[in-house]
Amino acid sequence: MKKPQVHIGLVNPKSPENVGAVLRAAANYDIAQMFYTGERYPRAIERQARTIDMHRKVSQDVQLSQQISLTDAIADNIKSSVSNFR
């Protein structure tokens, strides 16, 4: 039986530290992908002199992508999963 995929969606997250913490937790629970909406997170990354601490392998396994709408991201993901299943 194929293992179900779980995704996490963050609505307009603000700080890179919080997103990093969610990434690490997601990796611990074997989450495949995280989506986020809004512009606050990318702006926060640009303003900070340092980058997010991604040296821990645990958070490198989780894909993080910006989406306009979380429902659209989920719908697109379901479509690709169905086409891969056939």
What is the pLDDT, as a whole number, of residue 45? 85
Q: Exposure string (b/e) for 33-48, b if CB count within 10 Å is 16 or more?
A: bbbbbeeebeebeeee
Q: Which domain holds residue 41?
A: 1-64
What is the pLDDT, as a whole number, of residue 48? 76
CA 20 to chain centre: 10
Reading the block at residue 14, the tokens are: 């603000």
Residue 25 in domain = yes
Please check whether residue 49 is in contact with residue 42, taking contact to mean a CB–CB distance below 8 angstroms: no
What is the pLDDT, as a whole number, of residue 74? 77
Residue 60 in domain = yes
Residue 36 in domain = yes
What is the pLDDT, as a whole number, of residue 49? 62
Give the chain's domain count.
1
> What SS3 state is found at 43?
helix
- Please give the model's pTM, rounded to 2 decimal places: 0.72
| Mean per-residue pLDDT pooled into runs of 10, the chain (86 residues) | 82 91 89 92 81 58 88 72 50
